[in-house]
Amino acid sequence: MAVSSSSEVAAQAARRRTFAVISHPDAGKSTLTEALALHAAAIEQAGAVHGKAGRKGVASDWMEMERSRGISITSSVLRFEFGGTLLNLLDTPGHADFSEDTYRVLAAVDAAVMLLDSAKGLEAQTLKLFDVCRHRGIPVITFVNKWDRPGREPLELLDEVEQRIGLRPAPLNWPVGIAGDFRGLIDRASGAYTRFRRTPGGATRAIAERVPAEQAAAEEGAAWDAAAEELALLDEIGADLDPEAFAAGLCTPVLFGAGLPNFGVGALLEALCALAPPPADRVDADGVPRPVTAPFSGQVFKVQAGMDRAHRDRLAFVRVCSGRFERGMPLTHGPTGRPLATKYAQTMFGRDRSTLDAAYPGDVIGLPNASGLTVGDTLYARAPVAFPPIPAFAPEHFMVARTRDNGRAKQFRRGIDQLDSEGAVQVLRSDLRGDQAPVLAAVGPLQFEVVATRMENEFGAPVELTRLDYTTARLTDKESAATLEARRGVEVLTRTLDGTLVAVFSDKWRMRGLQRDHPDLTLIPMLAAGDPD
């Protein structure tokens, strides 16, 4: 096996951009993801989220529920090249019930595209995800989407970004025509004007035409004059991009466009290549930066099964943090010290996979059937390292799962164990109910619907789910368990993945009363959905 040089690894890392697209549900995230891949020539035809007019679903939405409902409920990876830059796009669920999956993805990226609906601006889920980006020091590029539909004034949207999240907006281009009457875009740096025409159904790249300013002024009339006035105002107030402020999370480049007809998507790709940071040294669990040129290391940020019915395997998604990975190289599983085989390493494009021979910092490796790997685990070659764990969210919804067919008990147990290892839900064991009736804990109720669907379709074990009246969870210990379980509306369960004790309460007031009466109880808060820390 060839040993790569530090200069090779540094050069390969420098040409990579690993980023996520974050947004509120229905802002057009999956559609924009398809448009980015289309403009990079990674696909020939974009899919529509709802499969209208016979068009196929988006490549990044591979789960059957995603295709039927038109929502993203699990993250996926799209890897493609554009202009000599290798892009690793990590698509994320927009629905708040799947915040935990998005949080894990944000632990594996170097930049984010914050997608805003031109009519709605900043929405609740977008704000929560931005807080996570701020906490992790992830620079954010803003894309104002759906400019082909009626919406708000562009200056109003910029003001909202600055006032509500404290990011100074720096528009890189500016729309000609109000939202709903999208004529084209003016590039602020060059003054060049691009006019767009959609293709039938928006399934292929929009037709872009460069138009001289004099001609555009004559043909666009009042729309051009209005855009020119707004651009003059931006110049006057100094709304220009400061690269250092962007890297520090104080400024956000802003671009306008429309993902469905593919307007302005090329400019976003160019901005990502030019502005998004390449992979950098990653801080380990001791707070020491591990250079990208150090021997291979990576971190598992997702485990997923059922991506391909032909394979029926589980795939661990590993972000390469340092060094060069080669298929077949021996790795060490950090938490256990055990060796790990990588002969069948893969690269992903949505649900599609292909053999991966080599990977560098910023890339995402798929390791099929890597038993024992869970979210947050560190892998390394030669030089040991451990990266900070990726915490689990505090669940707010709880259900007891039972098999509907006792003859499928083995399939039921296998399916529950698989979903537990993926982090799709947290599986808790109750001494009262036993192993045949585990308690499933989730951030949002839609996660249970996913569990029921996957248990039936992937594992052949239909389940019956019964709701428990708990809303609050805290980590606890054996010393506190006896006092807690003596109270009504409280139960102590064991998290099967790591043996941690979890106290669940019918409401937060009951928990606070117990804390007041017994200040020595161990009740440790868990990370709440959307909270940065």
Task: Spell out the residues 6+ positions from residue 313 whose beta carbon is closer than 8 angstroms to its own.
Answer: 305, 368, 369
Residue 219: CB atoms within 10 Å: 12
What is the greatest pairwise CA distance in the chain? 80
Q: Tokens 């480049």: give the residue.
A: 253
3-state secondary structure of 304: strand
State how far the Cα of 424 lies from the Cα of 251, in Å rounded to an integer. 34
200 annotated as a binding-site residue: no
Q: Tokens 């537990």: give the residue.
A: 420
489 annotated as a binding-site residue: no
CA 65: distance to chain centroid?
Answer: 18
State how far the Cα of 473 lies from the Cα of 283, in Å rounded to an integer. 30
State how far the Cα of 523 lies from the Cα of 111, in Å rounded to an integer. 35
135 annotated as a binding-site residue: no
Contact between 514 and 484 under an 8 Å Cβ cutoff? The reply is: yes
For residue 403, the cross-strand partners are 463
Which of 108, 110, 133 lies closest to 530, judged by CA?
A: 133
91 annotated as a binding-site residue: yes
Contact between 92 and 75 under an 8 Å Cβ cutoff? The reply is: yes
State how far the Cα of 297 lies from the Cα of 4, in Å rounded to an integer. 14
Q: Tokens 């054996």: give the residue.
A: 478
State how far the Cα of 110 lies from the Cα of 284, in Å rounded to an integer. 16
94 annotated as a binding-site residue: yes
Task: Spell out the residues 6+ positions from residue 39 whose beta carbon is closer than 8 angstroms to its own.
Answer: 82, 205, 262, 265, 266, 269
Which residues does the annotation place in the binding site for GTP? 91-95
Q: Residues annotated in the binding site, as ranges?
A: 91-95
